[in-house]
Structure 1
């Protein structure tokens, strides 16, 4: 086996093992311990973060930031990765630190010159736009780390009621309209709640609070089941434009019934505790969408209209 091939295989092997002894590697590769020690020294000089463990047993370990073995990409795959990274350019903060920028630079740098020229022509012509929202990159990174290592996080959270300290077990992270959201189990409320990352003032891993195994199994695809909560029937009437506005909304679209003239109506069951949330959403569509029921929803809308009227009374 050529030395270059041996070094690549050795790098792949120690990436998989993380901790190992020279004797273990020597036995696996059928080489002397002196040769393996020399190879490890070369890998270290090339940037593989290997360090020795002193004391009884000894051996080697990899630092947390490991190097991955070389991966071959086709031009189309490299372009896809480039634009996947570029899609996050408009987020003010990312949970990956500088990793995305570094990866993007590597892809761009090693692409053939003609492919780089094609990408340059597309710059500022293909965008994945997202509204700019200011938030802490450190908080996002802590939440992401907690998800990866299954850890509870102690946060300082700012809500309309003020700042409170919470212990949460994050389920995931997702972005919408420029904001990052973190659905998590709140040990204070003893329920799954959604936290907006820009409202988290600080976040620290907390190893003293054990994670709940049932929460660890959940993903972002597991929507909270509200069937056991008190339900009410939301009824709406829509103009033709109102149908157009609501049909692309996944909360409303599946329940729309269209009339022959293009207008429509909607009937859907929702949890009572979410009623104000839905009315606040409907508010943005003005007179294109009318609430027919329930009475509580109409009353809340009337109150919003009155509050707005009083705001502009002189």
Structure 2
């Protein structure tokens, strides 16, 4: 085996292990301990974070930030990865620290000159925008580490009722419309809840609490089943502009029916507990979407209109 091939295989092998000895590696490769020692020294000089452990039972270990082996990409794959990473720059905060920008810099640095040129010509011509939302990167990183370590997090959470301390077991993290969301089991409410990261004022690991195994098995694909909950139907009348606004909204689009004059209606089945959420969505569309039922939804809209009127009543 050529030395270059041996070094790559050695890098892959030690990345897969928490600890190892020179003799173990020598036996794996069928070469002398002296040769393995030289190889480890060379990998260390190349940036692989290997360090020796002295004393009985010693050997070698990798630092927590391990190095990945070289990977070959096609030009199309390189372009796709570059713009996927670059799209993250439009988020105000990320749960990866400086990892995303550092990886993008390294990746671009080692691309062939002609591929760099092609990507440079596409800069500022291809982008995946995300609305800017202010939130704490430290909190996002804490949530990410809790997911990886299957840990409990104590958060200070701001809601309409004020700030409360909650102990949560995060299931995942996802971004939508610039916001980061964290579905998690809430030990206070004893049920799954959805938390917005920008409403978290603090987040620290809580090693005193045990995580629940049933929650550990859940992922973002395990959406809460609401068909067993009390159901209602949101009845809507839509102007032509209202149809245009809701036609790309996954919650409403399947239920829109168009009239010949360009207006339309929608009968949207929802869980009764989500009615407030839907009222807030419709409120933002003003006169282009009118709620016909249920009566409690109409009442909520009227109450919001009254509050808005009172706010401006004394304005001159």
Shorter-chain TM-score bucket reads over 0.9
CA apart distance, 1:285: 1.4
Where does 1:201-212 land on structure 2 (aligned, <5 Å)? Answer: 201-212=201-212
Aligned positions of 1:238-277 closer than 5 A: 238-277=238-277
Displacement after TM superposition at 1:133 (Å): 1.6
Residue in structure 1 matched with residue 224 of structure 2 by the alignment: 224
Q: What are the Cα deviations for residues 123-170 of structure 1, in whole angstroms up to 9, with x where unaligned? A: 222222222222111111111111112111111222222222211111
Q: More displaced, 142-151 or 302-311?
A: 142-151
- CA RMSD in angstroms comes to 1.5
Return 5+ residue gaps in structure 1 as ranges.
none
Tell me the equivalent position of 1:294: 294
SS in 2 for 1:134: coil
Once the two structures are superposed, what CA deviation does each residue of 1:17-70 show, in whole Å capped at 9, x if it has no partner?
221122211111111222222221221222111122233322221111000011
| Inter-partner Cα distance in structure 2 for 1:226 and 1:5 | 54
> In structure 2, what is the equivalent of residue 121 of structure 1?
121
Q: Which residue pairs with 1:10 in the alignment? A: 10
Instruction: Tell me whether 1:108 sits opposite 2:118 in the alignment.
Output: no
SS class of match (1:132): coil
Aligned positions of 1:127-142 closer than 5 A: 127-142=127-142
When structure 1 is superposed on structure 2, of 278-287 and 295-304 the one drifting more is 278-287
2:74 paired residue number = 74
Deviation at 1:190? Answer: 0.7
After TM superposition, the structure 1 stretch with the greater mean CA deviation from structure 2, 195-204 or 291-300, is 195-204
* Shift >6 Å, 4+ stretches: none
Structure-1 separation of matches of 2:189 and 2:53: 44
Equivalent-residue separation in structure 2 for 1:97 and 1:64 (angstroms): 15
Matches within 5 A, 1:14-93: 14-93=14-93
Structure 2's unaligned 5+ residue stretches are none
> Secondary structure at 1:87's aligned position in 2?
helix
Bigger Cα displacement from structure 2, 187-196 vs 234-243: 234-243
Separation in structure 1 between the aligned mates of residue 92 and residue 50 of structure 2, nearest angstrom: 34
Q: How does the TM-score come out when normalised to structure 1?
A: 0.95
Once residues 184 and 79 of structure 1 are traced to their aligned partners in structure 2, the CA distance between those partners, rounded to angstroms, is: 35
Shift in Å at residue 303 of structure 1? Answer: 0.5
Aligned residues: 314
Deviations 1:159-184 (A, max 9, x none): 22222221111111111221111111
DSSP 3-state at the match of 2:175: strand
2:313 match: 313
Segment drifting more, 87-96 vs 225-234: 225-234
Q: CA deviation at 1:96?
A: 0.9
Q: Secondary structure of 2:89's match?
A: coil
